Amino acid sequence: MSGQDGARTGAGRATTASDLTALTAAEARRHLDARDVSAAELTEAHLARIDAVEGRVHSYITVMAEVARAQATAGDARIARGEAAPMTGVPVALKDNLCTVDAPTTAASRILAGYRSPYDATVVSRLRDQGAVFLGKANTDEFAMGSSTEWSAFGATRNPWRLSHVPGGSSGGPAAAVAADEAVVALGSDTGGSVRQPAGFCGVVGLKPTYGRVSRYGLIAFASSLDQIGPFARTVEDAAILLGAVAGHDPLDSTSAPEAVPDFAAMVGPGAGEPDLRGVRLGVAREYTIEGMEPGVQAAVDAAIARLAELGAELVEVSLPHTEYALATYYITAPAEASANLARYDGVRFGLSVQAPTLRETYERTRGEGFGPEVKRRIMLGTYALSSGYYDAYYVKAQKVRTLVRRDFDEAFERVDAIVCPTSPTVAFAFGARTDDPYQMYLSDVFTIPANMAGIPGIAVPCGFADGLPVSLQVLGPAFDEGIVLRVADAYERSETWTGQRPPL
Amino acid sequence: MAVEAVRVDPAAGIAPGSALEFETVIGLEVHAQLLTRSKMYCGCLADYADAPPNTATCPVCLGLPGALPVANRAAIELALLTGLSLGCRIPGYNKLDRKNYVYPDLPKGYQISQYDLPLCAGGALTFVSGGVTRTAGITRVHVEEDTGRLVHRSEVGGEVSLVDLNRSGVPLMEIVGDPDLRSPEEAKDYLIALRQILRYIGASTGNMEEGAFRCDANISTRTRDGVLVGSKVEVKNMNSFRAVERALRFEETRQRAALSAGEAVPQETRGWVEDRGVTVSQRTKEQAHDYRYFPEPDLPPLDADAAMVATVRARLPELPLARRARFAAAFGLGEGDAALLTAEREIADTFEAAIGPEATPGEARAAANWILNDLMGLQGQRGLPPHVLPLSADQLRDLLSALAGGEMTARAAKELLPQVEPEELPRAAAARLNLLSLDDTGVVDAAVAETLAAFPAAVADYRAGKKAAIGRLIGETMKRTGGRARPDDVRRRLQAALDADG
Ligand SMILES: [Zn+2]
């Protein structure tokens, strides 16, 4: 992408379609405001790119071409009036578990096929208010339950780096869309790693904010105490811009935090000066080396950590002793909450309704035909964990372990400013490699789950390749300090020279 | 869990049908709709009475994907107020829980309620039953949300069930009582007293017919010696105080008969069938739901810190029993009158506002009599609700002062009351209807003279020493003045005439 460096300084004029789809949100903003690129051109370039690669990648469940064109036109008018917001005219992909009034919202489930929400999710209405352009609803594992998008009822998304491999999940669609230049940025949701793991597999940046930083209103719930909406982008700076556009307290979400939202975008990117991590203490957790870790992944992550030290960071060994229990407790807490959250899909008011002679049969057939195998597995797991006689042994115990996991991080962050570790123990795997073994699939999220259990922010940033597939570094920070994880990831990203590499589509 | 009934052992000397000394144990669970403007977890109107089906709804109370609850602070305050009025503790930490079960009137597939850590705990209700003051423990008060409603209808092609979610999410509180009640009458009196408190503090209308005040009862039976013990039976579907008393009476009899016959009383849920006057089994212990309660992750614990509790406590009015005692003591009212006068807060308020802070016991009793006899009589004739009098405090005050000043006779006032227009002062109404007292001595004297002439026998009786005969003459004279002469004035003039001519 020859246009990239020129565009990054705002000096060049992006003219060709591939130049336009390669723009970052920050670059697009400069071009749009300079009026040398219109939102309409930018949108058409992305719609053309979607036409060109969707047959191979399948990032989207629904492409919102007409909505996008109308938003682009309105965005251009707004820019002409000099009233542009950071996201005005910027094409975005939305994970299909974010409710939108002008396109179906399916959560990739047959039970919601064609479902039209009568309201926008708060993040959607905030982007709409900013004048962003919605390219479409991106693919996911059904109800965000999965790590590969193989559990989507509407077909899996392929990894743009290698089409025989999964893009990760559950937000595989948004990750692949951003990696394949089918969107500038995207919003996904992260319950146990569903933003960071696919970002890692697809070689893009993915951020899970602090629990409560972004409103969950209008996010189709999977596990309410763990779900958090987060941005995908090709640069850390773009992730900061998109986070800034959607973050902040929402009176409609009682778990959204009143904390002020700092100017994240100002902390990162070229405007923040030369990459410099002097005075930053980075924790390296000894528990984050596990059996089954791919050597190529370990090597790339070690090299990235060495680079962070070269940038001035002080490396400190820390211990997070309850990490090994986090995965097991996650698979009690998340399914327990999911079993209740998914009770509303009963065929009575909306979505799929399979009529049967009795109420009970209507329920059974609607849910039997509407839900896929992984969703059913988790509903059963969760129902069991909450049942009388098992509740204390499972749910209550899991909550206690969750407290210990959180305490691990609290103690670590007394000594360090952030923690660095792999995003995932492996690079993207081949289709079908793990669908028959749920436990192997669950292991994919072993490094991302603790942050959800503790509610802390974490970012995945590309840190090289292993076997030709992207490897990702994860940076974890204290609650409500997205600033530090963005700064560390940004410094790393800008210190590397290969980070502009694009998948060979 | 109660032990199942022990088989009667004839060797122990207890034979079926012999005079066993039984004890009834009753605990009540009341669901009351909280009087708030909006629903428990969304902004929809809680008063959906006039709304077409499914229109008083939003994504939250329809349980649409992605919607999240936000707790209604006004509802929490009313539940707190209820807890404080019942002397409950307000624990420093409470939480909301999901109660999971599936039914078409429950859109989320779970109800947001409170399981093990309620908003208020450990209070008591003092009430009067059978002339005796009793106290029953209050286990807890917690908030939850109502379900929608199913409407079953016959249509071409068969029966259909329609779902109306207007009621979904309407704020409720559950007031769980300790098993301290010992008879169906006590249960009824407990409910009446509880409902009265809720109405006093403005927490609920307490309207049972409209479903704003619902009661489930747990009733068990045992012998005083503890030899026979029946299991706890839950009774549902009672829609009036009378139904509660009848259903519990039926259960008490049924359970005693079973134990006396050496049978077990199994743990179950039974429903009251009003028209047949019986309870029928609905669900046995084995069929009981597993509600899989767990903490509601979408809502933080309810705000009930010391400052909020203090603010709510400041809103507590004088409660019915205290007010009743004060009325009896301060105004020399009988217990019965004081109870009637304080049964509804609005009526007690009208009474106090009408008599003013300086009223003498005599004035207060006069006012009480007007309310309890005439105004409540008129209330009944007009079909007004029990808390609404036909006169406002201002109107009543005007009437009382006109009576005290002799501007109106009691008889004229009784004739006047049904004719007073809304907001019209009784003096003005009396002037309009020509019912003010007669000050024209000529008219009264003429009526006296007419009466004396018309009733010579009574005149003769009086003059012969039967002084009581004057009563007849007073009445007849009053009649001739249309009730507008002052009775004492008439008496004086009659006496003067009778004594002078004698
Ligand atoms: Zn509502």
What is the ipTM metric for this complex?
A: 0.95
Domain ranges for chain B: 19-291, 320-432, 441-501
Which chain B residues have a beta carbon less than 8 Å from that of A225? 297
By C-alpha distance, the chain A residue nearest B158 is A357
Q: Which residues of B touch A119 (CB under 8 A)?
A: 59, 64, 66-67
Among partner residues A105, A343, A350, which is closest to B108 by beta-carbon distance? A343
pTM: 0.90
Note the pLDDT tens digit of each residue in A444-499.
Answer: 889 999 999 999 999 999 999 999 999 999 999 999 999 999 999 999 999 987 76
Chain B contact probe: residue of A94, A123, A217 with most B CBs at under 10 A? A217
Q: Contact at 8 Å (CB) between A467 and A476? A: no
pLDDT at B5: 41
- Whether B64 sits inside 8 A of A217 (CB atoms) is no
Tokens encoding B50: 């006039």
Taking an 8 Å cut-off on Cβ atoms, the answer to whether A340 and B163 are in contact is no
Please indicate whether residue A194 or residue B5 has the higher confidence score (pLDDT): A194
pLDDT at site B320: 95
Among chain A residues, the shortest Cα distance to B299 is held by: A254
Higher pLDDT, B353 or A437: B353
Using CB atoms, pick whichever of A217, A252, A349 lies closest to residue B107.
A349
Above 50 in pLDDT, residue A6? no
pLDDT of residue A292: 80
- The confidence score (pLDDT) of residue B316 equals 96
CA distance B279 to chain A (A): 26
Q: How far B164 CA sits from the closest chain A CA (Å)?
A: 11
From the CA of B71, how far away is ligand 1's center (Å)? 12
Find the angle CA(A9)-CA(A12)-CA(A13) to the nearest 5 degrees. 135
Taking the C-alpha atoms of residue A96 and residue A220, their distance in angstroms, rounded to an integer, is 9
pLDDT tens-digit series, residues A60-69: 999 999 999 9
In this structure, whether the domain defined by B441-501 belongs to CATH 2.40.50 is answered with no
Res B447 pLDDT > 50? yes
Which residue in the set B59, B109, B161 is minimally distant from A118, CB to CB? B59
Q: What is the mean pLDDT of residues B223-248?
A: 94
- Distance from the CA of B60 to the center of ligand 1, in angstroms? 5
Q: What letter does residue A394 receive in the DSSP assignment?
A: I
- Residue type (1 letter), A101: V
Provide the residues around ligand 1 (an ion) whose CB is within 5 A. B 42, 44, 58, 60-61
What span, in angstroms and rounded, lies between the C-alpha atoms of A473 and A156? 25
H or E segment to which residue A473 belongs: strand A469-476
Cβ separation of A363 and B65 shorter than 8 Å? no
φ, ψ of residue B122 in degrees (nearest 5): 65, 60
Locate B84 and state its tokens: 């404080």
- Partner residue opposite B66 with nearest CB, options A218, A343, A391: A218
CA distance A255 to chain B (A): 6
Cα gap B359→B428, rounded to integer Å: 24
Known catalytic membership, residue A95: yes
Under the banding of pLDDT at 50, 70 and 90, the label for residue A12 is low
Lowest mean pLDDT among A53-62, B65-74, B401-410: B401-410
Look at residue A76 and give its three-state secondary structure.
helix
Tell me the chain A residues in contact with residue B294 when contact means C-beta distances shorter than 8 Å: 336-337, 340, 386, 391, 395
Is A217 part of the contact surface with chain B (CB cutoff 8 Å)?
yes
**In this model, does residue B330 exceed pLDDT 80?**
yes
* Residue of A38, A125, A170, A256 with catalytic role: A170
Instruction: Residue B39: name the closest of B141, B142, B146, B128 by CA.
Output: B146
Say whether pLDDT at B44 is over 70. Answer: yes
Closest to B226 in 3D by CA, of B470, B22, B64, B30:
B22
Q: Per-residue DSSP letters for A207-240?
A: EEPPTTTB--TTBPPSSTTT-EEEEEESSHHHHH
Give, as one character, the DSSP assignment of residue A313.
Answer: P
- Reply yes or no on whether the pLDDT at A46 is more than 90: yes
SS3 B189: helix
Which residue, among A161, A434, A467, A429, has the nearest Cα to A299 in the 3D structure? A467
Angle between helices A236-246 and A122-130 (to 10 degrees): 110
Segment A51-80 mean pLDDT = 98
CA distance A388 to chain B (A): 6
Report residue B3's pLDDT band, with 50, 70 and 90 as the boundaries. very low
**DSSP string for B347-407:** HHHHHHHHH-TT--HHHHHHHHHIIIIIIHHHHHHHT--TT--SS-HHHHHHHHHHHHTTS
Region A217-236: mean pLDDT is: 98
pLDDT one-digit tens code per residue, A155-168: 999 999 999 999 99
- pLDDT, mean over chain B: 91
> Which chain A residues are within 8 Å of B298, Cβ to Cβ?
221, 224, 254-255
Question: What pLDDT, on a 0 to 100 scale, did the predictor assign at position B501?
Answer: 62
Mean pLDDT of B237-265: 95
For B286-326, the pLDDT digits (tens) are: 777 899 999 999 999 888 899 999 999 999 999 999 999 99
Sorted by sequence, the CB contacts under 8 Å of residue A335 that are 6+ apart come out as: A223, A378, A379, A381, A382, A385
Report the 10 Å Cβ neighbour count for A477. 25
Per CB-CB distance under 8 Å, the chain B contacts of A219 are 66
Could you report the per-residue pLDDT of A369-427, keeping only the tens digit for each? 999 999 999 999 999 999 999 999 999 999 999 999 999 999 999 999 999 999 999 99
Cβ neighbours of B156 (radius 10 Å): 5
Name A426's Cβ contacts closer than 8 Å, sequence gap at least 6.
A292, A293, A294, A297, A444
> What pLDDT, on the 0 to 100 scale, is given for residue B279?
97
Selected catalytic residue, list A95, A109, A137, A147: A95
Is A34 at the interface with chain B, CB within 8 A? no
**Residue B67 C-alpha, separation from nearest chain A C-alpha, in angstroms:** 6
Asked if B294 and A388 come within 8 Å (Cβ–Cβ), the reply is no
Ranking A300-304, A413-417, B8-12 by mean pLDDT, the lowest is B8-12
Say yes or no for a CB contact (<8 Å) between A395 and B70: no
Interface residues on B facing A, Cβ-Cβ cutoff 8 A:
59, 62-71, 98, 100, 102, 104, 107-110, 161, 163, 290, 292-294, 297-300
Burial B161-188 (b: 16+ CB within 10 A, else e): eebbbbbbbbbbbbbbbbbbbebbebbb
CB-based contact, A112 to chain B, within 8 Å: yes
Lowest mean pLDDT among A430-439, B50-59, B139-148: A430-439
Residues of B in contact with A140 (CB under 8 A): none
Mean pLDDT of chain A: 94
A-to-B residue pairs, Cβ atoms closer than 8 angstroms: 106
Mean pLDDT, residues B445-449:
88
Nearest residue in chain A measured CA to CA from B43:
A252
Chain A residues lying within 8 Å of B66, measured CB to CB: 97-99, 105, 117, 119, 121, 217-221
A346–B292 CB contact, under 8 Å: no
The beta-carbon neighbor of A117 closest among B64, B104, B161 is B64
CATH, domain range A59-76+89-505: 3.90.1300.10
Taking an 8 Å cut-off on Cβ atoms, the answer to whether B292 and A387 are in contact is yes
Residue tagged active-site, from A194, A215, A256, A424: A194
Is residue A387 annotated as a catalytic residue, yes or no?
no
Partner B contacted by A227 (CB < 8 A): no
Per-residue confidence (pLDDT) for residue B228, from 0 to 100: 87
Q: Is A495 a catalytic residue?
A: no
Under a CB-based contact definition with an 8 Å cutoff, are residues A144 and A191 in contact?
yes
CA distance A452 to A193: 8
Task: Tell me whether residues B109 and A346 touch, CB distance under 8 A.
Answer: yes
- Nearest-CB residue to A254 (from B59, B109, B300): B300
B92-111 mean pLDDT: 96
Q: Name which of B165, B294, B302 to mutate to probe chain A: the one with the most chain A Cβ atoms within 10 A of its Cβ.
A: B294
Confidence grade of residue B499 (pLDDT, cut at 50, 70, 90): confident
Q: Which residues in chain A are closer than 8 Å to B297, comparing Cβ atoms?
A: 223-225, 255, 337
Q: Regarding predicted confidence, which is higher, B440 or A175? A: A175
B418: which DSSP letter?
G
Does the bond joining A170 to the residue before it have cis omega, within 30 degrees of 0? yes
pLDDT tens digits, B265-285: 999 999 999 999 999 999 888
